[in-house]
Amino acid sequence: MSSGRRPGRNPDRPGRFWDGMMPLEARMERRILPATATRVARHTPEAINRRIAAEIERSIRFHAGHPDRIDHRLRELDAEWDIERTLETNAATLALGGTLLGIFADRRFLALPMAVTAFLLQHALQGWCPPVPFFRRRGVRTAQEINRERTALKALRGDFRPVEQAAGGDLRAEAALRAAAA
């Protein structure tokens, strides 16, 4: 009952051969580990992602009408904690607390750092762990979301104008690097 095709070469049963023929987007969807930049948003309810995107849009529209406040907002964004920093701090606090309680109070508290580090590993690999929905509902954004707002504000401020005006590849590259660092 063989179809005459070798295993892994049937488009209905993708294997290595067909993976190379698939569009990049389709191959990315099949990855076991999601891309770093999008892994948290992929595990966040769409309503929360839409709310965060709407907040970014409101900020950009506001600052388009109030360009004198852009520098202040950029300083606020530099100080904003993203989801990674929030989770790392949360995990370190719980792990340290559980370790100290395990040493000085009751050994059963050592289960807390074990669970926390397992969740942290899960987050690093998949972009989800139990505290993520809690923090995302409270508006903690990813670095990509913060950078989206920052880049739009810098464009409003005119940071990228010198790139458009620069002539030649090297001059444009230098202008782009200066704009990105501003």
Q: In which band, very low, low, confident or very high, does the pLDDT at 163 lie, cut at 50, 70 and 90?
A: confident
Q: Tell me the C-alpha distance between 138 and 124, whole Å.
A: 21
**Could you tell me if 80 and 65 are in contact, meaning their C-beta atoms sit under 8 angstroms apart?**
no
The pTM score is: 0.79
Q: In which band, very low, low, confident or very high, does the pLDDT at 27 lie, cut at 50, 70 and 90?
A: low
Instruction: Give the mean model confidence (pLDDT) for residues 159-182.
Output: 86
Q: In which band, very low, low, confident or very high, does the pLDDT at 34 lie, cut at 50, 70 and 90?
A: confident
Instruction: From residue 75, give the alpha-carbon distance in Å to each of 4, 35, 150.
Output: 64, 28, 10
Instruction: Give the mean model confidence (pLDDT) for residues 58-62.
Output: 97
pLDDT of residue 79: 98
Q: Tell me the C-alpha distance between 113 and 54, whole Å.
A: 37
Percentage above 90 pLDDT, the chain: 68
Instruction: From residue 77, give the alpha-carbon distance in Å to each of 48, 126, 131, 152, 158.
Output: 19, 26, 22, 12, 18
* pLDDT value at 123 more than 50: yes
pLDDT of residue 26: 55
pLDDT of residue 10: 46
* pLDDT value at 101 more than 70: yes
Dihedral Cα 131, 135, 136, 137, nearest 10 deg = 110
**Phi and psi torsions of 45, nearest 5°:** -55, 140
